[in-house]
Amino acid sequence: MSTTETAAQDIPKVAVEITVNGQSYRREVEPRTLLVQFIREELRLTGTHIGCDTTYCGACTILLDGEPVKSCTMLAAQADGGEVLTVEGLEKDGELHPLQTAFSEHHGLQCGYCTPGMLMSSLALLQNNASPTEKQIRKGIQGNLCRCTGYHNIFKAIEAAAAEMRED
């Protein structure tokens, strides 16, 4: 269904109100604005990364109303009224989240590009399953690619964070 492109300036903007890391933001955006662009370019929260841009790599993973989603494959307009948690929302009062500490301690990253998405998928996993088996951890981050670590230290980090979070 190929049609002539409509000029962007002729398109009415869409009003959206999205809560990100506990703070509500109202913006008028182009309809084609992706949620990841809203987060990175409108709000300047650049912790959420764009990796493959084709729904493969998971670097752009955020939590929307508690569920992990790839923010590059969603319009900001679709998230209107929703609550988003990004990697910037993990740290509380200057204290790293147990997942962040564990990724650091267990060397669960090298270049760090996939890490924000890995952390958010790991959080979604641990919120639903406080004591995941190794297989469940593998399934939990099945939608996140890492080209550096070979994943083993990521699994170790998630296991360690799970243990830490069970104690808290």
Partner 1 sequence: MYPAPFNYHRAGSVAEAISLLSNLGDGVRALAGGQSLLVLLKARFDTVTDLVDLGRIRGLDGIEAGNGEYRIGALATHARLARSPVAEAIPIFQDAANGIADNQVRSRGTIGGNVSSGDPSCDWPTLLIALDAQVHCEGPDGKRAVPVNEFVEDLYLTVLGDGEIVTGISFPAPEKGAAGAYVGFKRCAPAYPTTSVGVQLTMDGDDCKDVRVSLGSSGLTPIHATGAEAELRGKLLTDDVIVRAADAAVAESDPIDDQRGTPEFKQLLINTLVKRGIGVARRRCAGEQVEVSHEYY
Positions in the binding site for partner 1 (CB under 8 A): 1-3, 5-8, 10-12, 14, 30-32, 34, 37, 53-58, 61, 64, 67-70, 72-75, 77-78, 121, 124-125, 139-140, 142-145
Q: From the CB of 62, what's the least distance to partner 1, in Å?
A: 9
Strand-by-strand arrangement of the 67-70 sheet: 23-29, 14-20, 83-85, 61-64, 67-70
What letter would DSSP give residue 75?
Answer: B
CB of 47 to partner 1, least distance (A): 17
Tell me the closest approach of the beta carbon of residue 6 to partner 1, in angstroms.
5
Quickly tell me which residue has 């319009």 as its tokens.
Answer: 75
- Please name the amino acid found at residue 100: Q
Question: Which one, 41 or 95, has the nearer CB to partner 1?
Answer: 41
Give, for 28, the enclosing helix (H) or strand (E). Answer: strand 23-29
**Residue number with CB closer to partner 1 (64 or 161):** 64
Q: Which is nearer to partner 1, 46 or 101 (CB)?
A: 46
- Give the alpha-carbon dihedral of 78, 81, 87, 89, to 10 degrees: 180
